[in-house]
Amino acid sequence: MQAHNTLHNEHQDAFNKEWIVSNFDKCLNNGHFHIYLQPQVDMNGKIHGAEVLARWIEADDESIPVGRFIPVLINAELITKLDLYIWDQAIHQLAQWKGTPMENLHLSVNVEPADIISVNVPEKIMELCNLYQVDIKKIHVEITERGFDSSVAFMEEAIRSFHEKGIVVEIDDFGSGTNTLSRLKGLDADVLKIDQNFIEPAGSVRYLRSQIILQSIVGLANSLNTLLVVEGVETEEQKESISKAGCCIYQGFLFSKPIPVRSFEDMFCKEDQY
């Protein structure tokens, strides 16, 4: 019975992957992909910007889990087509905020190694900013450190190319890759995003050590004139630990899950951010 269930699950997975690949273009053209925003806030709860995340929502409002479609699109070499669409949507949204209380916010979009290989990403971002007449400083690119584990030089060159166009660069999942500290020599990023895994509960065996490490990272970031953002903040206790270590920008479910643009706008105005 177990072997039968395993075989059934494998067939189901294969079907799901085939459906995702075969329906991707149609769903993209029919507007089934949406941008969701997860706020980045300071210790007072003031919103400074947001990370842009892709959501695939079918006509019946059923959402396809991100963990299901993103890996499939990467393997099928379709991720760049989706990312191009998301960048366009994000920069267009920044244009729509001009003249409103949200015009000074930034949006951070994800960039995959495959994007950089197949597209001149800095040129494309600049082209979209010119099209929508948006200040290029308001669109940040977020690249994942572990996505470039195989080629540090490639990542360093990518960062240089973004900076040449005046684009702010964020390193996501900082500390998850190998030889992280030694890489700081070449990773001339503007923002380092670290995960909640650096945070331990107060009173735990690892708490003091985690605080020392976190404070050291904050000191390094300050010395390098690099902003530090902590992701995955889910509890007040975590926020307090981060604040004690000197971090001042947070992102996580404590403040908001990723939400539709309209909900984000309502949240911004409700919190009297301006």
Q: How confident is the model at residue 272 (pLDDT cuts 50, 70, 90)?
A: low
Mark out the alpha helices in the chain (DSSP H runs).
Answer: 2-29, 66-75, 79-96, 113-118, 121-132, 152-164, 180-183, 207-223, 236-245, 261-270
The answer to whether residue 242 scores a pLDDT higher than 60 is yes
What share of the chain has pLDDT > 70, as a percent?
85
Q: What's the CA gap between 240 and 83, in Å, rounded? A: 35
Q: What pLDDT, on a 0 to 100 scale, did the predictor assign at position 130?
A: 98
Is 176's pLDDT higher than 80?
A: no
Question: If you average pLDDT over residues 217-229, what whole number do you get?
Answer: 86
Lowest mean pLDDT among 3-7, 12-16, 61-65, 221-225: 3-7
Please determine, for residue 167, whether its predicted confidence score (pLDDT) is greater than 50.
yes
- Kindly state the DSSP code that residue 1 receives in the 8-state scheme: -
pLDDT above 50 (res 6): no
Structural domains of the chain sorted by starting position, each given as residue range(s) with its CATH number in brackets: 32-270 (3.20.20.450)
Kindly report the average pLDDT of the chain as a whole number: 86
Q: What is the pLDDT of residues 10-23, one digit of tens each?
A: 435 655 899 999 99
Q: What is the mean pLDDT of residues 49-74?
A: 92
Half-sphere exposure of 126 (CA within 13 A, CB side): 12
